[in-house]
Chains A and B, each alone.
Chain A
């Protein structure tokens, strides 16, 4: 693995029968980066991400995550990454505390560690009154923040976030991104997919997928210059149309 690159993707392709969902994408992500993986719904972002997190086998091409090959070393990758799925997948019928304990345990944290982390998480998010409430009863914004924190329990090098802010109010979104910044500052690499173009502004670098291909890859600033656009939204519109 080259010193700084935590994710290396080369010509990664995924086909379902005749349909090409991801077409020979190539890119790299550096340690500590907040990398935005953008694209419209159905562009192939989630499919690409699934290959990187080891739950989908590539049809062609190669990729390395945290130094491990996605095709042959998927289980090793999983030890080193965190994931927040689109559905925030925490168990609705378990309490906040129980969810934390469960995922912590699955990742091999010791009892003591889990206790410590639980305490910390609850403090940071201000969940003192909610620890023993079933996750299903919490509003969306809370679920999402907890899910993010749970994905970081085992202090992974890279965290993959799939549309983490879907359906959440702007204030909560802002708060969420603050949490992301904090993690990135601690050295965690953040790989986030989203179709909210304004969130692209928050990323260090951004790639835009259109119909399975990466049509643009650069910092938001440079992309706006390149496409002569005011906002990332405009960049995207120009790309999609073009």
Chain B
């Protein structure tokens, strides 16, 4: 027991003495949190919109006015020809082009079919889909009003039916992406730092030669590994705390659920990450290799965490892989506890899986550390 204490003491001293690393461990993540949390948004606004008005009648202008008034669209230009519009889209100047055909007004009143042409840059398919919906909402609303006006004169009995949808966004009424992203990014940052630090740690001692010296002492594997885990665990929890303070003070993220539960979960979660890092460190010979491997997993973990793209949208085999992604559980727990106020019972499955993961990874880390080769 005392032995572990000596190792912990040494590790702390080394970490805090490393003047170059301290800002990277503490300041860089927080700066990133502040800046990047603002970046993560799927809100679609300022859509680069242009039109080709081949009709130029009060009706066409009225339709275009609707787009001008909409907050989603940024009406940029009015093109004279299709060629111009296409060129602009190729150049990236515009993403949505609405073409109003000639005789639009005339044909509408005469009840002849005439079509609006809508061209959307669909490289980002999801955004394109939403843009299309927005356009269609504006067009339909315009259509409805127009029809009502025009129909006052005649006596049609067959009225159109209208099904209105009313949105209700629970836990995040204003669809504030920050509510979701800030805790998410915090998780990523904490994970990255703890993974990289633990990943490089043992390998570093291997490279400089102190590991050999340690292996000749009577210290036990368990003691050594636990002694190394603890300081990084403290750093991870520290980062989480600072991050949460920033989240609350600067971003005003609601913390609906139990903070204690968040901390309890995170404390187990960090052990998983550390276990993975130490395990990697045992198998590599150079810091470079360790970092590459850690990075490999990190990128996969990040992109498949459900933070940026929903896990439910992934193919089954990919969803299976995410079962082994610790970040996925953290993101789930965080959304559930912080934002929805879920209880311990609700997150029990994630807790158990994470605990198991922690035990397995750290067990592997201890087992794979060989004092004798």
Contact = CB atoms under 8 A, between A and B. Distances in A.
Contacts of B3: 105-106, 108
Given A94-B13, A98-B13, A101-B6, A56 B212 contact: no
Nearest to A57: B372
A152 to B, nearest CB: 13
Nearest to A51: B372
B49 to A, nearest CB: 59
Contact of A75 (B10, B18, B218, B373): B218
B10 A74 contact: no
A98 B18 CA distance: 15
Contact of B372 (A56, A86, A87): A56
A240 interface: no
A89 B212 contact: yes
B6 A105 contact: yes
Contacts of B258: none
Contact of A89 (B10, B17, B209, B220): B209
Interface in B200-221: 208-210, 212-220
A102 B9 contact: yes
Contacts of A90: 210, 213
Contacts of B10: 91, 94, 98, 102
With a 10 A CB-CB cut-off, give which of B17, B214, B372 has the most chain A CB atoms: B372
B212 A55 contact: yes
A79 B218 contact: yes
B5 interface: yes
Question: Chain B contact residues: over half helix, strand or loop, or mixed?
Answer: helix
Contacts of B219: 106
A87 B6 CA distance: 22
Contacts of A92: 208
A205 interface: no
A9 to B, nearest CB: 17
A160 B373 CA distance: 18
A93 interface: yes
B164 interface: no
Contacts of B13: 93-94, 98
B220 to A, nearest CB: 8
Contact of A105 (B2, B210, B371, B373): B2
Contacts of B217: 78, 103, 106-107
A52 to B, nearest CB: 10
Given A93-B18, A102-B10, A55 B208 contact: no
Contact of B216 (A54, A87, A105, A134): A54
Interface string A197-213: 00000000000000000
A160 B7 CA distance: 23
A225 B220 CA distance: 48
Interface string A72-115: 00110011010101110111111000100111011110000000
B14 interface: yes
Interface in B7-52: 7, 9-10, 13-14, 17-18
A210 B215 CA distance: 27
Given A55-B373, A94-B10, A98-B10, A89 B218 contact: no
Contacts of B215: 55
A103 B2 CA distance: 12
A213 to B, nearest CB: 22
A55 B216 contact: yes
B208 A87 contact: yes
A106 B269 CA distance: 29
Interface string A49-76: 0000111110000000000000000110
27 contacts: A54-B216, A55-B212, A55-B215, A55-B372, A56-B373, A57-B372, A74-B371, A75-B371, A78-B217, A85-B209, A85-B212, A85-B213, A87-B212, A89-B208, A89-B209, A89-B210, A89-B212, A91-B14, A94-B10, A98-B10, A101-B9, A105-B5, A106-B6, A106-B214, A106-B219, A134-B17, A160-B216
Given A91-B14, A105-B2, 15 more contacts: A55-B373, A56-B372, A56-B373, A75-B218, A81-B216, A85-B212, A87-B209, A87-B212, A92-B208, A93-B13, A93-B17, A103-B217, A106-B3, A108-B2, A160-B216
Interface of B: 2-3, 5-7, 9-10, 13-14, 17-18, 208-210, 212-220, 371-373
